Structures are given as C-alpha cells and as structure tokens.
Amino acid sequence: MTTRDGMIDRREAIRRVSALLGGVAFVGGRPLLEASERYGHARAALIAESGAGVGPFTAADIALLDEVADTILPPTKTPGAKAAKVGAFMAVMVTDTYDARDQQVFRDGMTAIDEESQKTNGVAFRKAKSRQRLALLQELDRRQKAHMDALETARTARDAEKKGDAYVPDQRKEMAPAPGVNPAAAITADSPTHYFRMMKELTLLGYFTSEIGCTKALQYVESPGRFDPCVPYVRGTRAWAPHA
C-alpha cells in the first residue's frame, strides 16, 4: 500500500504510540497527528540541519529538547531520540498544533526542567551527567503521573455531575496520587496536561514515526512479497514497522 505521493504512511506507527501511552488522546489532537504524518519530520530535519529555531523556540531550546528526548529514549543498540532529531520535531509540533495555553505550559516546563536541575544538581539540564538527568526525569514522570491521575478523576467527576450522577466508579480511586507525591495544587477538570506528559508524548511520537525509529528500532519492509497474518514470534525480535 502506498500513498499518492509515495510517502511512508505513519498512521499505524502513530496508533501504536498512542497505545504505548494508554490509548489517550494526544495533546494537540487531530492537527498534531495530521501535521506529524504530512510534514513533521521533513520540516524538523531542515531546522536541525540549518541550526535555526522555529516559532518561539531558539536553537538552544531545541538542543535542550534533544537532551530531554535522548534521556527518555537513549541510544543503545539503536540510535536514540537525539539522532532522530526529535528536539526539532517537538518544536515544530508544539508551534504548529498546540493552542496558546498548551504552548505556554510546554515552554514553562522547559524552564522548570532547567530550574529543577539547577536546584538538584547545581547545573543546567544540558550540563548535568546522564545519571542526574535520568533521576530528574524519573521524578518528573512520577509528578506527571500523579497530576494526570488527579486530572482524570476531576474530569470524571465533572462528567458525572453533568449527567446528574454523583457516583464515581471505584476504579477511579486507583488514580489518586501516590503517597509522597504532591501534584500541583487545586487540579480541576479544566487544568492543562502536565508539561512532562507532553514531552513524553512528542518524544515517542517523534521517534517511532522517524526514519530511524521505523528502520532501526523497528523492522521495516517496504514491499513484502506476501501477507502473513500470523507468524511465529521469536523472543527478543523487534516489532514490525508499518509501511505505506
């Protein structure tokens, strides 16, 4: 299957990334996914090669996003997120598809990461050691999980109230913040998505829809000779990337 312009169809990769994130809607919604599929990586590559910024993002901002993404998906046997130019991809997607509030949350989050690194490690995030970066992002991940759980609970309660039903399913209790983790105060149904959740979404989306992600981290066959609906799985074998 090929698209009319011969470009690789990334829709299946996007679906899989959504599944990795629990099947929730991406911040930016349909415009984000359409932009990612149509021009996201092409534009990101041009920006990365030129060393320029995009929208309100400077070259230094993109370099910071590259390091954040590379900490989330570091190089192992395959290239990491930085090699896939995910920093530039994030900047393009935020600029082109996020609304004004989410853009501000994302950019404030970048500042917060540097402030947290200065507070914890005494240096900016880009100058911190790998283990320091990882520890910081693991802490931010715990915070975003607590924030998103509280946000989901608030939205469920709001929807129940609108329906005239004060009952909230018992499973929502599992979404309460973990002990010792303090989400932002007064999270309501209208609170924005946590900035680190946005960064994780864009890192996964950017990496697994990139050429490196599809051909190095995943297996890719552009023109298979036949369709095999079910094949034996060998433990440790990489998943197959979608093709156009």
What is the pLDDT, as a whole number, of residue 27?
A: 85
The 3-state DSSP class for residue 178 equals: coil
What is the pLDDT, as a whole number, of residue 213?
A: 81
Contacts of residue 173, defined as CB under 8 A and 6 or more positions apart, other chains included, come to: none
pLDDT digits (tens, 9 = 90+) for 172-218: 444 455 555 554 457 898 899 999 999 999 999 899 888 888 777 76
What is the pLDDT, as a whole number, of residue 219?
A: 67
Residue 219 φ then ψ, to 5°:
-95, 140
Cα–Cα distance, 220 to 227 (Å, whole number): 14
17 occurs within a structural domain: yes
Tokens standing for residue 236: 């440790």
* pLDDT < 70 regions, the chain: 1-25, 165-185, 218-231, 233, 240-244
188 occurs within a structural domain: no
Cα–Cα distance, 141 to 190 (Å, whole number): 21
24 occurs within a structural domain: yes
Q: For residue 230, give the DSSP letter.
A: -
What is the pLDDT, as a whole number, of residue 83?
A: 94
Cα–Cα distance, 198 to 44 (Å, whole number): 18
163 occurs within a structural domain: no
- The type of residue at 228 is D
Cα–Cα distance, 19 to 24 (Å, whole number): 8
- Containing structural domain, residue 59: 11-137+196-217
112 occurs within a structural domain: yes
212 occurs within a structural domain: yes
142 occurs within a structural domain: no
Task: Quote the number of domains for the chain.
Answer: 1
What is the pLDDT, as a whole number, of residue 174?
A: 47
164 occurs within a structural domain: no
Is the distance from CB of 201 to CB of 174 less than 8 angstroms? no
What is the pLDDT, as a whole number, of residue 54?
A: 92
What is the pLDDT, as a whole number, of residue 1?
A: 31
Is the distance from CB of 103 to CB of 28 less than 8 angstroms? no
